[in-house]
Structure formats: C-alpha cells, structure tokens
C-alpha cells in the first residue's frame, strides 16, 4: 500500500458532512434526553409521594417535639438507598437479530444500532475474549475524564521504566525515547493512532502516577458502565493476561462512551496526526490510524467510519472496534475478534456495515467475503 495518504473526498465536503452529522447528533441527543426524562418523571413522582406519606404519618403519630427533634437530624436522601444505574444501557437482541454463521470470518462479532439500542447481528457476542489493544479505547476514555483542556498542553517526559516495559513486552510503540518530552495531547493520539504502549503508559503515569493506580480507575469505569461482570482489565496497554478480558459486547459499550467524549472522539476519528518536533524527532512524526485509512475506500454501504481501534495478540487474533455513521446521523458500532489477519478484520467490518446498517438491507444476504490483497501485512507485536 502507498504510504502517502490520498483522501477520497475533499476537505470542503468532509466539513459539510461533519456539520450535517453534528446537527443530527444534537437532535438525537435532545430526543434521547427527553425520552429519559419522560421515563424518570414517574419514578420521581413516586419518591416524592412516598416521602410525603412518611412525613405525614410521622407527624400524626409522634408529638410535635419529637417531630421537630427528628427533623433536626440529618437524613440520607432516598436516591442514596438505590444502587447506581449504569451510564449506558446494553443493547438487546430482538427477533430480527441475525446470528452470523461459521462462514463469517471473525470468531466473535456484534453490530449495534445505537439509536434503537438493538443488536443487528452477532456471533459469540458474549464470549470472553482478550481485547488486546482495543484496551486503549478505555485508556484514553479514563484519561480524558481526568485531564482538563489546559492539561493537554502540559508536557510529559518519557522514562526508562516505560521504554523498558515496552521493549521487554514487545509492544507496539510511537517510538518515544528516554527523556523525550512531549505534550500530553500527543500521548492521546499516540495511544490510538500508533497503538503506542509508550504513549498509553505515559498517559497512565501522568494521570494516576503509575499504571497500577490507573488500572484501578479503568476498572472503576467498567463498573460505572455496567459491564464489570464480564470485563476486567489488568493493564492499560492490552498485553495478554488471563484476567484481562471482556466481550465484544462490552467493547461496544466502551467505544460508545468514548465517542460521547469530545476529546476521545477527536482522537478516534483522526486519520493522521503530526507531532511537534523534539530533539529526538527534529521533524516530528506523522501518526496514522491505518484501519480508518484502509477502510475508507471499502464498500460500507454509504456509512462513514468515524472512529476505530484495532488490536492483536496471539490469544485474541486480529480484532477491531469501530463506529459508523450514516448521512442522517444514525450511528452504529461494530466489534469483531479473532480474524486471521488485520485485512480480514477490515473486510468483516465493511461487510457488517453494508449488510445490516442500511434501511434497505433488511432481510438481505450478507455480502460475499472479499479476497485479501496480495500485499496484506499484519502487525504481530505484543499489543498492536
């Protein structure tokens, strides 16, 4: 494949599409908030009514002095007695959900309509997998929630502990050197576009002081998202560990949350990013999201792929998570795991989007698997 990036649409057309999608997203979010409010109102009314009845009963039974004394004592709010609800409700299979067969290349897969929260097609969607470098989507999500806009212009100096960790574990890296100082913003792009373990560890250290402390924040986020029963991470990089696990359905929830973060969405949708010059890289570096660049000219049924992250370890095969968006603003998430090559993962995503994410695709047959290019290559590093 040529190393020079040649976009297939103009900058003006891309800007117009983004403006159209942004407006569509705003309308959908307003509608979603209204639906949530309508669902919450009856519950709030019941709580208010219950509190009123309890208060009235206490006033009738107890003496006024006792009532006043009780009123002066601090009481816990009713909401505190309820378990916190997950921030993202899981998508559900329906009667029209397609069960993908053995002819579908990836061993595990799920494609979800985010607006209806419906699983359109799946294959072993609840099977526990090793997420490999898809882990880094959660890494940037957690980091984004713990930095400010001013922090992005702060700097981080690479340490020998980080570079040694990457070398010993044969991680994919940006190529940052010991004592090289870079903006925190670049660590976000390096984590996703280059799948850089050095950048991911830099983020973890900057936010929490160590990878171990940062992983605690990651698992707290999994609990908040409501997927901690099946998802648990032991590192921020994606290295194989028997306890480092999730399902493709869990990964869809993680990407949805990341795409709702302005900073994460900006990073995940970037095709390329040019870093600032440093002493070790006097001309800077051009980082690339190869999944986005390679799927750009594939037939996805008219959907634009607006965010993606790949992964590979031997135990998981080639895996990928991506978000596609239609012209009307409808969004879909696709996750696959255990494909036999990085190219096959791309073709699997294109096939799922084209077949199941169009209105006229209902009842249609899956698109035929496309052949791999002769020059197909695959990153087989520890966590790509």
Token readout for 353 is 């989007």
Cα torsion 81, 86, 91, 92 to 10°: value is -20
Q: What percent of the chain has pLDDT over 70?
A: 71
Homologous superfamily (CATH) of 92-361 is: DD-peptidase/beta-lactamase superfamily (3.40.710.10)
Query: For the chain, which residues make up each domain, given as ranges?
Result: 11-81, 92-361
- Per-residue model confidence as pLDDT tens digits over 166-195: 999 999 999 999 999 999 999 999 999 999
- Per-residue model confidence as pLDDT tens digits over 229-283: 999 999 999 999 999 999 999 999 999 999 999 999 999 999 999 999 999 999 9
Ranges 35-49, 129-143, 153-167: which has the least confidence: 35-49
Residue 92: per-residue pLDDT? 85
Cβ-in-10-Å burial (0-12, 13-18, 19+) of 187 comes to buried
**Angstrom distances, CA of residue 196 to CA of 98, 187, 213, 325:** 35, 9, 19, 26
User: What is the CA angle 13-351-134, rounded to 5?
Assistant: 85
* Structural contact between residues 365 and 293, judged by C-beta atoms closer than 8 angstroms: no
- Per-residue model confidence as pLDDT tens digits over 250-265: 999 999 999 999 999 9
Determine the average pLDDT of the residues in 212-229. 96
CB atoms under 10 Å from CB of 329, counted, come to: 17
305 has pLDDT over 70:
yes
Q: Which residue has the tokens 């990928």?
A: 320
């Amino acid at each position: 494949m040529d190393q020079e990036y040649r976009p297939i649409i103009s900058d003006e057309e891309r800007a117009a599409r983004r403006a159209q999608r942004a407006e569509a997203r705003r309308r959908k979010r307003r509608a979603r908030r209204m639906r949530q409010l309508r669902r919450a109102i009856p519950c709030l009314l019941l709580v208010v009514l219950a509190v009123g009845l309890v208060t009235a009963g206490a006033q009738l039974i107890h003496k006024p002095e006792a009532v006043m004394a009780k009123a002066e004592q601090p009481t816990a709010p009713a909401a505190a007695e309820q378990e916190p609800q997950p921030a993202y409700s899981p998508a559900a299979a329906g009667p029209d959900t397609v069960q993908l067969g053995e002819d579908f290349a990836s061993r595990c897969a799920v494609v979800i309509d985010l607006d209806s929260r419906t699983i359109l097609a799946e294959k072993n969607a609840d099977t526990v997998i090793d997420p490999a470098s898809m882990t880094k989507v959660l890494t940037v999500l957690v980091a984004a929630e713990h930095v400010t806009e001013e922090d992005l212009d702060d700097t981080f100096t690479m340490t020998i502990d980080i570079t040694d960790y990457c070398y010993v574990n044969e991680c994919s890296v940006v190529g940052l050197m010991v004592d090289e100082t870079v903006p925190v913003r670049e660590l976000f792009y390096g984590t996703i576009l280059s799948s850089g373990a050095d950048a991911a560890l830099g983020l973890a250290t900057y936010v929490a002081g160590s990878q171990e402390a940062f992983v605690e924040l990651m698992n707290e986020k999994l609990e908040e998202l409501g997927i901690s029963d099946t998802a648990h991470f032991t590192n921020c990089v994606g290295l194989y560990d028997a306890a480092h696990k999730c399902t493709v359905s869990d990964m869809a929830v993680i990407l949805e949350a990341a795409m709702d973060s302005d900073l994460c969405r900006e990073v995940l949708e970037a095709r390329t990013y040019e870093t600032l010059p440093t002493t070790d890289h006097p001309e800077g570096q051009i980082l690339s999201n190869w999944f986005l660049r390679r799927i750009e000219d594939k037939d996805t049924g008219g959907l634009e792929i607006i965010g993606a992250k790949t992964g590979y370890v031997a135990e998981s095969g080639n895996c990928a998570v991506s978000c596609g968006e239609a012209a009307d603003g409808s969004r879909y998430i696709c996750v696959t795991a255990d494909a036999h090559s990085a190219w096959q993962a791309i073709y699997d995503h294109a096939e799922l989007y084209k077949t199941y994410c169009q209105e006229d695709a209902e009842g249609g047959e899956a698109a035929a698997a496309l052949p791999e290019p002769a020059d197909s290559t695959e990153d087989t590093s520890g966590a790509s």
